[in-house]
Amino acid sequence: MKRASLIILSVLLLAATAFGCSAKQAAPDANHSGGYYDADAAYAEESMYAPEPAEAESVSMSNRTEYKNQSPALENRKIIRNANVSVQTLEFDAFLEKLNEQVESLGGFVETSNIGGRTYYNQTKLRNAYLVVRVPAENLDALLAAVDGLGNVTNMNTGMRDVTTAYIDSEKHLESLRVEQEALLKILESATTVEDLITVQNRLSEVRYEIESYESILRSYDDQIDLSTVEINLNEVERVTVTEPETFWQEVSRRFKDSMEDVGDNLKSFGAGVMGNAPHIVVFLVINGLIALIVVLIVRGSIKSAAKRRAKKQQN
């Protein structure tokens, strides 16, 4: 009995040591029944202790020749870099084809692609697309420059998130859990009673689950650090939005040209609508003509009948 008490006490001391090495993480079973650990909750909790993400940097559309926001001070940090781009294009299909080529050449891939806008009943409707692109972090700037060269970028936001503290804390907690696992395995070898076996195995199961959870967290961090995420909002347009500064007369000229193009587009749409709906218009006119003819015939018949009745009365 004394031996069993010593083994149980050893297990409890190991658990307390692991708890002390990662005070920021708190006891895994504090918010989860049965002592099991939730990887998603751990990830969220890690984020609480990470420094706040750097404020997104909006790139001026009048000077887009340089995108890099890295600095030597960040070389040894765990940095997640992402970007969001809004872009217009006059050649929708060509843009997507060239973008895919650029992404592949930079070692990335298109994670999500949603294209919409054009319908069966309206083939002339302008299209749009939402793309999520993953590219190696070192090639993020090259991708942004490529997108700028393919279309008219109207908005670009880049942001950095420093997860160094959370990453290191996760590594330390994982290390302490592995040390505890080795100690538990040694205790398990010397356990002689069923009570000892159950106590050690239960804690060992909890530790293994926590190790898997923290390994998953670190893999998730590594994935986000190694591969930057770029969200691209693509819009097909007939005329691109001017992003460069204009003089007064340049603006007047552009507005006049836009107005003339709008008038032409409206006339074209009106003509297409009339010609496209010609069968409906013809049917409508025929039906209404028949109705008008019937009404005229009825009215004429009524007038003739009334005239005959009046003539008959006069003869009598």
Q: How long a stretch of residues is the chain?
A: 316
Q: How confident is residue 282, by pLDDT bands cut at 50, 70 and 90?
A: confident
* Model confidence pLDDT, tens digit, residues 199-229: 989 999 999 999 999 999 999 999 999 999 9
Per-residue pLDDT at 60 exceeds 50:
no
Most confident of 40-49, 54-63, 68-77, 161-170: 161-170
Backbone angles phi, psi at 114, to 5 degrees: -120, 120
* Range in 31-40, 155-164, 236-245, 303-312 the model is least confident about: 31-40
HSE-CB for 284 with a 13 A CA cutoff: 5
Count CB neighbours of 112 within 10 A.
11
Report, as an integer, the average pLDDT of 69-90: 84
Topology (CATH) of 57-163+226-236: Alpha-Beta Plaits (3.30.70)
pLDDT of residue 253: 63
In the beta sheet, which residues pair with residue 158? 57, 83
Higher pLDDT residue, 243 or 156?
156
- Predicted confidence at residue 281, as pLDDT, reads 81
Backbone angles phi, psi at 23, to 5 degrees: -60, -30
Q: What is the pTM of this model?
A: 0.60
Residue keyed to tokens 């009995």:
1
Q: How far is CA 140 from CA 43, 63, 161, in A?
A: 25, 18, 15
Please state, in angstroms and rounded to a whole number, the distance separating the CA atoms of residues 251 and 249. 5
Mean pLDDT for the chain overall: 77
What ranges in 22-91 are assigned the alpha helix state H? 39-49
Give the span between the Cα atoms of 105 and 99, in whole angstroms. Answer: 10
- What share of the chain in percent tops pLDDT 70? 64
